[in-house]
Structure 1
């Protein structure tokens, strides 16, 4: 009896221990899952917060820009609209050129397919011709005489079998020929459609290019009137100071946003690239102007680069576009944030290729050059800023 109690106690204790260990294991598992879930949730919340900060910052800049645009003169407003029209037309031209390229590729594929089918058609016609000739030769032998000669009974069977096979083959090849002819007819229709499409696209491209040239001439005229207006009022210095102040105000807005959100941190510190950055576009430098940039390891450099209007402008380093719009005194302006509070500025563009929020790589096209801000000199004005200074 005592032994039975001992055994029962041992079993009960073991069972309790098993339940205890299971409970602990399950508890640790649940805690681990809960911790992982909390970490994932924390990361997601952090990303959402960062995204909302960026969006709020962009909205803040847009509001500031709307307010700044209300202070523009009539000539400046006309210039702004003209330059924006140039960007839209340039983008439309790029899209149309891409469509034309795709249509040409499609046309080439269809033509290649047509050539393949025509080769098949020629082969089928050759085979059909051989079969018809063979059938003709057989029909012109003394068939019945051969058929009723008992000594050639086996040969007759073979003859009938052969004739049957030829008839079947002829029927099959005729069917293939009909199918190939249908395919060829359909391809001809597709080819004609693609040719009409490419003709229409080329007409559209010509119209867009004409509009682009007209917009460019209009811009030059408006810019000339604006320059004359500023000169006649003897307010050149005041205008330049106002334009510079507007740029500084914009950079302060951007600096505040990039500090909060840390939009882009490069793998290589931007300051270590001094003297090794590629130019944003090839061309002769008009008038380099150097200013000390506080405690920055890179001097603030503002350079005017001579280049034909329409030359591709490329990012000097990886980063994110934080501004891409028209600004008084700068024209169409692109600002790229390279992280660690470094910004690159590209102003006087003819057309923009990027939007706010776009990530760009070194050497990637971000715009096409136009005229140096406030002049009729073709080229681009470029600056690097550190901490907005």
Structure 2
């Protein structure tokens, strides 16, 4: 026991020293690991906060993009309506210009007639003057004092009086012709000045419409700069088509059938296209995704007349998202025709139109990059192929 006790005492301080060293190491390890765990926890919280912030920023960006798109759509509508208003004035000015030109032609014809009369009367006066000069060697006094018989003198005086009356009548007619000719020339001057004013107005209107078109191009550029995915484009087209269907459904619900409108059932392959132009997109072809064209898109220049395919009554005439300025005509028996992307509308709701009558002007409203006419025929709300009716 004394030997064991001696060994313990001998190594006691060594054991205690080793134990203290071990404890100190453990304590150091705990002190080192604890801040690492705290740091990892803080980093995770910061990452989570950053992700949440990015999500909120993305939501805000999407919301801002939607608001910008809505603003651009409203601006596009305002541009289309401004162009329509200017184009309508320009169309009216062209009509007045044609009337003025017709009036000037009429005045020119009247002037030619009066010039002819003037020449004829100048010839008559010249002949009368020559006759008077030839017979003018004897004045009235000589005739009275000569030795000839009174009957002969009386006949001569009567002849002179007749020549004088004829000459005075010719002079009066000549003066009247000159007065009328002066009036004609004054009217011609007024009409020419009016024509110059109309031409100047037309030039200003043309400049205004070109400026509006430039504004719209900038609007379209801004709208197209916001890149849309295929799904977004599909949703956009679906929304536009849904809006059109809802509008047509509302029109159909409000429609009061007119007995004199016999529909289009007996007119297949007998109607003319509303405007001449190549078909850019045919009925039933693929439009986007599973969507297909419900009508046809006809290529045509801006300002060309859009004519109704048959007699009917205008049911709708307004701007429609995706289709621009649209006019819809009821033909009776559930048949309707639709004309979209117009520059301006020449008819209003309730107007009666006859076959071939101009109802609009071709444009590119509704966000189109090129001018053209979108054309549909529907029967009881269902789209049908226009090629079956138009030739």
> Please, what TM-score do these two structures have when normalized by structure 2?
0.71
Q: Name the counterpart of 1:279.
A: 273
Show CA shifts across 1:100-130 (max 9, x none): 1111121122222222222222222222222
Residue from 372, 375, 381 that aligns with 1:388: 381
Cα gap change, 1:158 to 1:207, in 2 (>3 Å): same
Out of 257, 264, 267, which is 1:262 matched to? 257
Kindly provide the CA deviation profile for residues 303-352 of structure 1, in whole angstroms up to 9, marking residues without a partner as x.
Answer: 22222333322222221111111111111111111222222221111222
Q: Residue 30 of structure 1 aligns with which residue?
A: none
Secondary structure, aligned partner of 2:302: coil
Distance across 2 between alignment mates of 1:150 and 1:116? 50
Match of 1:313 in 2: 306
Indicate yes or no: 2:172 matched with 1:175: yes
Q: Is the 8 A contact 2:312 2:332 kept in 1?
A: yes
Which of 332-341 and 114-123 deviates more? 114-123
- Structure 2 CA distance for aligned equivalents of residues 380 and 321 of structure 1: 17
The SS at the match of 1:336 is: strand
How far is 1:372 from its partner? 7.8
The structure whose Rg is larger is 2
Number of the residue aligned with 1:137: 134
Structure 1 position 75, deviation (Å): 0.7
Q: How many angstroms apart in 1 are the aligned matches of 2:277 and 2:105?
A: 38
In 2 relative to 1, CA 71–250 (structure 1 residues): closer, same or farther, beyond 3 Å?
A: farther
Which residue does the alignment assign to 1:290?
284
1:92 shift after superposition: 0.9
CA shift at 1:234, angstroms?
Answer: 6.9
1:274 Cα deviation after fit: 4.2
Between the aligned partners of 2:274 and 2:330, the Cα distance in structure 1 is 15
Residues 222-371 of structure 1 aligned to structure 2 (within 5 Å): 222-229=219-226, 231=228, 235-258=232-255, 261-263=256-258, 266-267=261-262, 269-290=263-284, 301-371=294-364
SS of 1:282 mapped into structure 2: coil
Unaligned runs of 5+ in 2: 1-66, 286-291, 383-391
CA contact (8 A) 2:114 2:181 kept: yes
Answering whether residue 119 of structure 2 is matched by residue 125 of structure 1, we say: no
Cα distance, 1:265 vs structure 2: 5.2
CA contact (8 A) 2:274 2:309 kept: yes
- The alpha carbon displacement at 1:227 in A equals 2.7
Compute the displacement of 1:276 (Å): 4.4
Match of 1:31 in 2: none
C-alpha separation between the residues in 1 aligned to 2:148 and 2:295?
A: 109
Inter-partner Cα distance in structure 2 for 1:152 and 1:343: 98
Are 2:376 and 1:379 equivalent residues in the alignment?
no
**Which stretch of the first structure deviates more once superposed, 274-283 or 84-93?**
274-283
In structure 1, distance between residues paired with 2:336 and 2:142: 101
Counterpart Cα distance in 1 of 2:152 and 2:219 = 98
1:189 matched residue in structure 2 = 186
- Give the SS at the match of 1:338: strand
Find the aligned partners of 2:180 and 2:268 in 1 and give their Cα distance: 63
| Cα displacement (A) at 1:146 | 5.4
Secondary structure (helix, strand or coil) at the match of 2:225 reads: helix
Distance, in Å, in 2 between the alignment partners of 1:111 and 1:326 is: 45
Secondary structure at 1:286 match in 2? strand
Aligned-pair CA distance for 1:196: 0.8
For residues 108 and 122 of structure 2, the distance between their equivalents in structure 1, rounded to whole angstroms, comes to: 21
Q: What is the alpha-carbon distance in structure 2 between the residues aligned to residue 287 and residue 256 of structure 1?
A: 29
| Cα contact 1:230–1:236 (8 A) shared by 2 | no
**Structure 1 unmatched runs, 5+:** 1-69, 292-298
Given that 1:227 and 1:375 are in contact with CA atoms closer than 8 Å, whether structure 2 keeps it comes out as no
Deviation at 1:143, TM superposition (A): 6.5
- Aligned-residue Cα RMSD (Å) equals 2.8
* Alpha carbons of structure 1 residues 276 and 71: separation in structure 2 relative to 1, 3 Å: farther
Residue 202 (1) aligns with residue 199 (2):
yes
Q: Contact 1:305 / 1:381 at 8 angstroms: preserved in 2? A: yes
Residue of structure 2 in register with 1:81 after alignment: 78
